[in-house]
Structure 1
């Protein structure tokens, strides 16, 4: 099955799946709804448009729900919380309006929310699916209609975003050749390093995996009728060659460039 590799890195990321207005959570890994939403944005799809459709030239049957994601946790990042206020200190006539178009009662003008983020996290994701869909998605991620972001518009994605694809063997690359954005934690004493993977299908040895439930299968992104279904994911720790640890900064970027040169068709 064809696939592609994307790299999700940036100063801040946020992957909520049960947020309310005042409490905006983040999961420790990218959610399915956010990944499909990022791809749909790159394709130029509006929030009210279906996920399964014919391409503009009628040559490709694009099926975003058929995509599968294998997530490698290069760096889990540091959880952070932003105490966010809107309307504080303003005259009542300039405060945020209610849904009815009225002003809030005195003493309630300031809207408070707490927003969670992952700082300095890096994930490498193998996206697999039908050949026609993967080809369209790869083209869109290379030249997105709307800029990709990492869960929220305030969290832009670093480049390169698209590492390789379309093509075969992208999941194998996660285990064998894509550099890890981390340093060797053992100082050269071991030959392998423990790395977490997030899978949307059970691994062969599911007993060794943690099973979690996410409410992140998008049914509709329409602003007035967003809806999601629940699913299971599995988090498993794999031992990868310690040589994949490429460190940080220029050393990591050099290793990533070498991988990209080798992966180019």
Structure 2
């Protein structure tokens, strides 16, 4: 087994947990659904669970079977953005559930008016939360051949990649490389950027090797960010993660990239 190491950084990030209509919030760290979506975009899996290149059903089991963790290297700050949106016809929201489509005609805007008045849609006011200056390291542990294929896809993705929202472009390189270490060892040995201190590590429960379970002594956090259907709006499950601490060495970004070239494949 190997561990793929990716660096999630950029001017803006936004990892929504519950983000419908007017108010689009963000978790202070990547969501499991967002990480799956990042990988699926690279691999060319569309929102209907199919391989966009072939039209055949996409096999997501290898991706969901990977052991994953996210290390918070630099937490960044939150930024609230206000802007207005001219909504498209309701028919273009076919991916929403029938109940959510029905809400489009009645949901209140920021000025107290509904989105549609006498069937005529109105300009929608929205408030969207972003993270600025945040840096995370994403660790994926599993089959070396699959990880190499995923790394190649993240380097040359099928669709453009984003950190939670389309406006949030990732810093490059996103992929640092592949380590032969176990997930926990890789999270400890891979340098972090920012001030020298311990770092918070989030290990996703469904992706923790049972052999590592005895090492998980931190608190648990649950978020509604595990999509169970081919698209998150179909239905949600609840993903639990364990929050622990690690003490990696610290470097500047340039030093980290040099380290990755010398120590990762």
Aligned to 2:5: 5
Please state if 1:260 is matched with 2:260.
Answer: yes
2:160 to 137, 142, 147: 147
Residue 170 of structure 1 deviates from its aligned partner by 5.7
Aligned mates of 2:182, 2:131 — CA distance in 1: 26
Deviation of 1:227 (Å)? 2.5
Pairs within 5 Å for 1:32-43: 32-43=32-43
2-side partners of 1:97 and 1:142: how far apart? 33
1:217·1:230 contact (CA, 8 Å) conserved in 2?
Answer: yes
- Distance 1:212-1:222 versus aligned 2 partners, 3 A rule: closer
Deviation at 1:179, TM superposition (A): 2.6
Change (3 A) 1:131 1:206: closer
SS in 1 for 2:166: coil
SS at match of 1:135: helix
Higher relative contact order (CA 8 A, sep 6+): 2
**Displacement of 1:47:** 1.3
Counterpart contact for 2:17–2:223, Cα < 8 Å:
yes
TM-score by length of 1: 0.77
RMSD of aligned alpha carbons: 3.0
Query: What secondary structure, in the 3-state scheme, does the structure 2 residue paired with 1:39 have?
Result: helix
Does structure 2 retain, via aligned residues, the 8 Å contact 1:5–1:170? Answer: no
Q: Given the superposition, is the C-alpha separation of residues 132 and 33 from structure 1 closer, same or farther in structure 2, using an over 3 Å criterion?
A: same
**Do residues 204 (structure 1) and 214 (structure 2) align?**
yes
Equivalent residue in structure 2 for 1:135, among 135, 148, 151: 148
Deviation at 1:25, TM superposition (A): 1.3
- In structure 2, the CA distance between the partners of 1:97 and 1:258, relative to structure 1 (3 Å rule), is closer
Please say if residues 8 and 174 of structure 2, whose CA atoms lie closer than 8 Å, have aligned partners that are also in contact.
yes
1:210 is displaced (CA, Å) by 2.2
The C-alpha deviation readout for 1:42-93, integer Å capped at 9, x for no partner, is 0111111259xx9x9xxx9962111221111100110121122124xxxxxx
Deviation at 1:116, TM superposition (A): 1.0
